[in-house]
Amino acid sequence: MANQQRCALIIGLVVLFGLLYVPAVVAQEAHAGHDVTEDHEAAHGHGGLDLGTVLPLWSVIPFVGILLSIAIFPLVAGEFWHHHFPKISAAWAVVFAVPFLFAYGHEALHQILHIYIIDYIPFIILLWALFTVAGGIRIRGSLAGTPAINTLLLLIGTVIASWVGTTGAAMLLIRPLLRANARRAHKVHTVVFFIFLVANVGGSLTPLGDPPLFLGFLHGVPFFWTLSLITPMAVVAGILLVTYFALDSMYWRKETEAARQVDDSEGRFGIDGLHNLVFLGGILGGVILSGTWNAGEVTVLGIHQQWQNFMRDGVLICMGLLSLFTTRREIRKANGFSWFPIMEVAYLFAGIFMTIVPALLILKAGEHGAMATLVRAVKEPWQYFWVTGGLSAFLDNAPTYLTFLTTAEGMLFPGLPEPEVVLRIIAEHEIFLSAISCGAVFMGAVTYIGNAPNFMVKSIAEESGVEMPSFFGYMMRWSLLFLMPIFVLVTFLFFV
pLDDT in tens, 96-122: 888 888 888 888 899 899 888 888 888
Q: How far apart are CA 126 and CA 167, in angstroms?
A: 9
CA–CA–CA angle 477, 486, 226 (5° rounding): 120
pLDDT band for position 22 (cuts 50, 70, 90): low
Say how far residue 223 (Cα) sits from the centre of its chain.
20
pLDDT band for position 190 (cuts 50, 70, 90): very high
Spans of all domains in the chain: 2-111, 126-495
Highest mean pLDDT among 75-79, 190-194, 459-463: 190-194
Where does residue 373 rank: exposed (0-12), middle (13-18), buried (19+ CB within 10 A)? exposed
pLDDT band for position 463 (cuts 50, 70, 90): confident
Q: Where are the alpha helices (DSSP H) in 55-187?
A: 61-76, 78-114, 121-134, 147-180
**Least confident interval from 8-12, 252-256, 274-278, 367-371:** 8-12
Q: How far apart are CA 116 and CA 7, in angstroms?
A: 25
pLDDT band for position 201 (cuts 50, 70, 90): very high
Of 445, 458, 376, 476, the C-alpha closest to 201 is 445
Question: Across residues 430-457, what is the average pLDDT?
Answer: 91
Whether 32 has a pLDDT exceeding 60, the answer reads no
pLDDT number for residue 17? 61
Whether 232 has a pLDDT exceeding 90, the answer reads yes
Say if CB 407 and CB 375 are below 8 A apart.
yes
462: which residues sit within 8 A by CB, 6+ positions away?
468
Other C-beta atoms within 10 Å of 290: how many? 24
Other C-beta atoms within 10 Å of 92: how many? 24
Question: Across residues 437-444, what is the average pLDDT?
Answer: 95
111: which residues sit within 8 A by CB, 6+ positions away?
51, 357, 361
Of 105, 51, 126, 108, the C-alpha closest to 369 is 51
**Least confident interval from 129-138, 321-330, 477-486:** 129-138
> Mean pLDDT, the chain, as a whole number?
84
pLDDT in tens, 143-154: 778 899 999 999
pLDDT number for residue 195? 96
Q: How far apart are CA 361 and CA 108, in angstroms?
A: 11
pLDDT number for residue 38? 42
- Residue 336 φ then ψ, to 5°: 70, 30
Say if CB 303 and CB 117 are below 8 A apart.
yes
pLDDT number for residue 45? 39
Of 316, 281, 314, the C-alpha closest to 295 is 314
pLDDT number for residue 280? 87
- Is 0.85 topped by the overall pTM? no
pLDDT band for position 36 (cuts 50, 70, 90): very low
Tell me which DSSP letter residue 224 carries. Answer: G
Question: Across residues 91-100, what is the average pLDDT?
Answer: 88
pLDDT number for residue 40? 40
Of 125, 54, 132, 119, the C-alpha closest to 352 is 119
**Which residues does residue 181 pair with via DSSP β-bridges, in sequence order?**
none
**Which residues does residue 243 pair with via DSSP β-bridges, in sequence order?**
none
| Ramachandran sector of residue 297 (left: φ over 0; alpha: ψ -120 to 50; beta: rest) | beta
Q: Which residue has the higher pLDDT, 30 or 107?
A: 107
Whether 375 has a pLDDT exceeding 90, the answer reads no
Say how far residue 336 (Cα) sits from the centre of its chain.
24
pLDDT band for position 293 (cuts 50, 70, 90): confident
**Which residues does residue 298 pair with via DSSP β-bridges, in sequence order?**
305
Three-state DSSP at 303 gives strand
Whether 349 has a pLDDT exceeding 50, the answer reads yes
| Ramachandran sector of residue 265 (left: φ over 0; alpha: ψ -120 to 50; beta: rest) | alpha
Where does residue 101 rank: exposed (0-12), middle (13-18), buried (19+ CB within 10 A)? middle
